[in-house]
Chain A
């Protein structure tokens, strides 16, 4: 069931969901945020285990808990003694809502754009008429490993030539060499793409990431958004 739903919704749905969640996080009163978080979690559950991976990270929970703890220490009157600490009830309550808002936003990003593959992103750009940007993203992704090699080679070359005796000159030489070599590699990419007749200005047919299910999903989001906004909880 999960696989079927996931397979029908394209990258457009993921972006729509992110925009929807961001808008509602900004507009909804505090109490309705619980319902929004439930929707985000449900969407993330449908998106697979990876989509909700922030929930398994210690760093995520440290961030959320630190909001609650710091708020109870910093905001409002310290009217709640707890051992040697004096906490604030109003600060604790406010911190709880702030933490909930932070959870909604972080998870909304993770379950939407965070779960998109590079090919999804490239396809999305191309369907929006930004074929050049999609192409550039693809080139950049493939460049990362090459850049690593360029930086490593340049670093070791400078080190073996005793470059670290003059640190500022070395940093300048490192940057100039890395950028120059990256641009030379870029020129090779241009030659290779030209040889294959690739033109970023020409739009090729058949590239469409907008599916019927995406439209239905967007309508559903609109309805649910209206319900959350205007339904008195």
Chain B
């Protein structure tokens, strides 16, 4: 690993680093507790996992990647994710396993991209965003497996067959639909990475203007 802004990324965290981790963890947690909760009420999870999950994953990825521009240290993004997940757990809605797993997984994926890439460049943000938001595609499968155990494959098999007959598509085309749904997530993640890159720069310029 190299240095960024004269700081050894492997060295221990300074007080300012921890406070910034807290700031971005709180921003992500606040977004999950407010926007996430409202969206889940408007679009109940059983009926809609695409819109709510994708929106919150994109928003979380933007916040955490802006945060990474201010705390260029290994484990910073994961720490932000842990704080956001714990804030979500402590919120009035109570402990919710799904969002907590999603927050942690997204933070872990972003961390994996940034850990060996210091200093992080523009394309790292695009890649990290795509990877983080693409978790949203696998999240439902993983949660179904964790929560409901065996037998869920049969549910999906039946859903694909029924969906194919309703839409007049055969199973092969249903696979294409699934691939398209995955690519939508990747694209949204790439946009989130781009926005995080631009937004982080704008915040830095705003703060530099104050100095």
Task: List the interface of chain A (C-beta within 8 A of B).
Answer: 25, 30, 53-54, 57, 63, 66-67, 70-71, 74-76, 94, 97-98, 101-102, 105-106, 109-110, 113-114, 118, 121, 132-133, 135-141, 143-144, 147-148, 151, 172, 175-180, 182-187, 189-190, 193-194, 198-201
Residue on A nearest B25 in the bound complex, by CB? A140
Q: Which of B15, B46, B95, B203 contacts A176 (CB 8 A)?
A: B203
Residue on A nearest B209 in the bound complex, by CB? A180
Q: Which of B101-153 contact A (CB under 8 A)?
A: 146-149, 151-152
The 9 closest A-B pairs by CB, nearest first: A114-B95, A139-B22, A98-B148, A140-B26, A136-B22, A143-B26, A140-B22, A186-B23, A186-B19
Q: How far is the CB of A17 from chain B (nearest CB, A)?
A: 13
Q: Which of A67, A109, A178 contacts B148 (CB 8 A)?
A: A67
A144 in contact with B159 (CB, 8 Å): no
Q: Which of A74, A106, A151, A180 contacts B155 (CB 8 A)?
A: A74
| Contacts known (A98-B149, A139-B19, A140-B83); A172 close to B202, Cβ less than 8 A | yes
Name the B residues within 8 Å of A184 (CB-CB).
Answer: 207, 210
Query: Is chain B's binding surface mostly helix, strand, loop or mixed?
Result: helix
Name the B residues within 8 Å of A25 (CB-CB).
Answer: 149
Q: How far is the CB of B194 from chain A (nearest CB, A)?
A: 13
A140 in contact with B95 (CB, 8 Å): no
Residue B178 interfacial (CB < 8 Å): no
Name the A residues within 8 Å of B25 (CB-CB).
Answer: 136-137, 140
A180 in contact with B206 (CB, 8 Å): yes
Cα distance A198–B202 in the bound complex, in angstroms = 31
A175 in contact with B199 (CB, 8 Å): yes
Tally B residues with Cβ within 8 Å of A: 47
Cα distance A149–B27 in the bound complex, in angstroms = 13
Name the A residues within 8 Å of B82 (CB-CB).
Answer: 133
Name the B residues within 8 Å of A187 (CB-CB).
Answer: 16, 19
List, sorted by A's number, 5 A–B pairs whose CB atoms are closer than 8 Å: A71-B151, A74-B154, A74-B158, A132-B18, A133-B82
B203 in contact with A105 (CB, 8 Å): no
Cα distance A148–B79 in the bound complex, in angstroms = 22
B19 in contact with A136 (CB, 8 Å): yes
Q: How far is the CB of A142 from chain B (nearest CB, A)?
A: 9
B89 in contact with A144 (CB, 8 Å): no
Name the A residues within 8 Å of B20 (CB-CB).
Answer: 183, 186
Name the A residues within 8 Å of B155 (CB-CB).
Answer: 70-71, 74-75
Q: How far is the CB of A75 from chain B (nearest CB, A)?
A: 5
Q: How far is the CB of B163 from chain A (nearest CB, A)?
A: 12
Q: How far is the CB of A102 from chain B (nearest CB, A)?
A: 5
A54 in contact with B148 (CB, 8 Å): no
Cα distance A153–B14 in the bound complex, in angstroms = 30
Q: How far is the CB of B129 from chain A (nearest CB, A)?
A: 15
Q: Which of A63, A102, A147, A175 contacts B26 (CB 8 A)?
A: A147
Q: How far is the CB of A93 from chain B (nearest CB, A)?
A: 10
A109 in contact with B97 (CB, 8 Å): yes
Q: How far is the CB of A87 from chain B (nearest CB, A)?
A: 14
